[in-house]
Amino acid sequence: MTLKLGIIGAGRIGRVHADTLTARVAGAEVSIIADIHAPFAQAAAGAFGIPAHTADPAALFDLPELDAIVICSSTDTHTRFIKAAARAGKHIFCEKPIAHDLAEIDAALAAVESAGVQLQIGFNRRFDANHIRLKQAVDSGEVGAPHLLHIISRDPAPPPIDYIAVSGGLMMDMMIHDFDMCRFLLGEVVEVFAMGACMVDPAIGAAGDIDTAKVMLRFENGVIGSIENSRQAVYGYDQRVEVFGSHGAASSGNRHANAVTLSDGRSVRRDLPMNFFMDRYMDSYAAEMAAFVLAIAKDQPVPVNGNDGRAPVVMAKAGMRSLRENRPVRLDEIAGALS
């Protein structure tokens, strides 16, 4: 049986999913792609051999042959499309974050629940070989009882200022992946403390955001964690995690396109790490979609559900409050956090 999917959004991430779903995921077929910018939809359809395209995303909910909708449109449209897809009885894959507002998220999750469809959230890093190996090191006891966690996550360059303004801020847009990684590796967090600053580009500060941040986290199980983010690492995408515990440590390094070392009169060097998430995490995008398609096909729970999409939003909100108030903030202080 082949799962038939429709994609909403033919921007960067929409094209990533179109690419992997058409070329690398077994058991899936993309029937249509929608984008409110018609040329985007048309271009993606052409590039990935998708038979139909439309400028009207809502049209997809009426197509009876579609089993699932992949939502890759801008964040402010996510819950609207989730609710519409749920009403239409379609399974849903939605990019992160679900929304910036918890009440809005809760309404969407309720719609999913009552429709009895499945919803997977796009935390692709859970499907990356490095992070999977780290989780295995934790789960198998290789590191023993976990004591400390440190996550480094740095982008090669900041997004356009226009995007910054609607992104929800660094913690909601970028660190949200790291908040999810915390939960993926070590479970629930109860309290966070944040420091942040605008160091990369004053225009980011002028847009009301920060570009550099460090957050400390206390986990339910006692682990003490930290996350550091920068919008700009000149040497490329920097994604490293270390879990330290009673039996040892597991640390991931960056991935490089080649394993060649060059030695000359000045240094012993490697080429830069993979430059951005499109290179670094491409395999994880294929794997998350394969997992989604398989879960739907086998009628099993999806690996990253609505609650997994909601929790990091709470963490981001707690982080932002900590930043504003310069104090540790418990997650249960965030309105509706325990819903």
Q: Does 332 bind its own copies (CB under 8 A)?
A: no
Q: Residue 95 or residue 178: which is nearer to its own copies going by CB?
A: 178
123: β partners:
none
Residue with tokens 């780290």: 134
Question: Kind and range of the H or E element at 53?
Answer: strand 52-54
Q: Residue 96 or residue 131: which is nearer to its own copies going by CB?
A: 131
Smallest gap, in angstroms, from Cβ of residue 238 to its own copies?
A: 7
Of the listed pieces 57-65, 87-95, 253-261, 287-295, which binds its own copies according to CB under 8 A? Answer: 253-261
Smallest gap, in angstroms, from Cβ of residue 132 to its own copies?
A: 8
Smallest gap, in angstroms, from Cβ of residue 299 to its own copies?
A: 25
Residue with tokens 């249509």: 32
Q: Does 43 bind its own copies (CB under 8 A)?
A: no
Query: Between residue 88 and residue 107, which ones bind its own copies under the rule CB under 8 A?
Result: none
Are 48 and 317 in contact, with CB atoms under 8 Å apart? no
The sign one gets for the Cα dihedral 224, 229, 235, 237 is positive
Smallest gap, in angstroms, from Cβ of residue 211 to its own copies?
A: 9
Map 288-314 to HEC letters.
HHHHHHHHHHHCCCCCCCHHHHHHHHH
Q: Give CA–CA dist 117/78, Å, rounded.
A: 16
Of the listed pieces 69-77, 110-118, 290-298, 321-329, which binds its own copies according to CB under 8 A? Answer: 321-329
Length of the chain: 339
Of the listed pieces 2-10, 76-84, 230-238, 296-304, which binds its own copies according to CB under 8 A? Answer: 230-238
Smallest gap, in angstroms, from Cβ of residue 268 to its own copies?
A: 5
Pick one of 39, 187, 208, 253: the residue that binds its own copies (CB under 8 A).
253
Pick one of 147, 190, 305, 337: the residue that binds its own copies (CB under 8 A).
147
Could you tell me which residues come within 8 angstroms of residue 48 by beta carbon, excluding any fewer than 6 positions away? 15, 18, 19, 22, 23, 30, 33
The sign one gets for the Cα dihedral 205, 78, 187, 275 is negative
Structure tokens at 161: 């200022």
Query: Between residue 271 and residue 310, which ones bind its own copies under the rule CB under 8 A?
Result: 271-273
Q: Give CA–CA dist 264/262, Å, rounded.
A: 7
Query: Between residue 153 and residue 192, which ones bind its own copies under the rule CB under 8 A?
Result: 154
Binding string to its own copies for residues 193 to 212, with x set by CB under 8 A, is what? x-xxx-xx-----------x
Smallest gap, in angstroms, from Cβ of residue 234 to its own copies?
A: 4
Structure tokens at 188: 């629930």
Are 125 and 99 in contact, with CB atoms under 8 Å apart? no
Smallest gap, in angstroms, from Cβ of residue 333 to its own copies?
A: 13
Q: Does 321 bind its own copies (CB under 8 A)?
A: no
Q: Does 246 bind its own copies (CB under 8 A)?
A: yes
Q: Does 324 bind its own copies (CB under 8 A)?
A: no
Q: Does 226 bind its own copies (CB under 8 A)?
A: yes
Q: Does 24 bind its own copies (CB under 8 A)?
A: yes
Q: What CA–CA distances, in Å, run from 244 to 88, 130, 219, 247?
A: 46, 16, 14, 8
Q: Residue 221 or residue 307: which is nearer to its own copies going by CB?
A: 221
